[in-house]
A and B are shown apart, each in its own frame.
Chain A
């Protein structure tokens, strides 16, 4: 897996965490299938999610304040 894809998945996981408080199996499977460790991946994603929530406290609401553009 290249770093661009890995970065995309980190951001995807972060946004999934913000929206649903969980990371989808598809994302986790892609990381696992690439032979990468889940722990550092999830750690990065959680940190990104926390940093975004610090800036946008209502991002986990249903007002659509935060969207994806991948």
Chain B
């Protein structure tokens, strides 16, 4: 059974809107066809049915028109510090992470995590110029050896 309470799309990425469920269990959906990148060119909507599991066909074959729950991608950025800790806060943007590194710590890298429907699918560790922030200097500055030696 496909979860119709969550966003849907076809396997090849066409937008789908759930309309209702028929008495025999089939799902009624509105599928948007056409190139979404071209302004309304060849774009149209069609009311169609799918099996309860989201499949279009009745046999074993799969189709690009089968339904799936839309992949919701979420990317977060965490600061990685010289003391061996990783920031608890997942920032929405790289810039936000850079601007909000923890006071009194030296940031030596960023960990970018990508989630699809809440499941971690990718992580990239990026190094950068060691950066230090504290109350006296909330904008931060390039870290020095003394900052590095802090515990």
Contact = CB atoms under 8 A, between A and B. Distances in A.
Task: Please classify how large the interface on chain B is, using the bins under 10, 10 to 19, 20 to 34, 35 or more.
Answer: 20 to 34
Interface residues of A, number: 29
A55 interface: yes
Contacts of A14: 125
A59 B113 CA distance: 12
Contacts of B111: 52, 55
Contacts of A68: 124-125
Interface string A41-60: 00111111011101110110
A67 B123 CA distance: 6
Contacts of A27: none
B120 interface: yes
A44 B83 contact: yes
A69 to B, nearest CB: 5
Contacts of A46: 84
Interface of A: 3-4, 6-8, 10-11, 14-15, 43-48, 50-52, 54-56, 58-59, 65-70
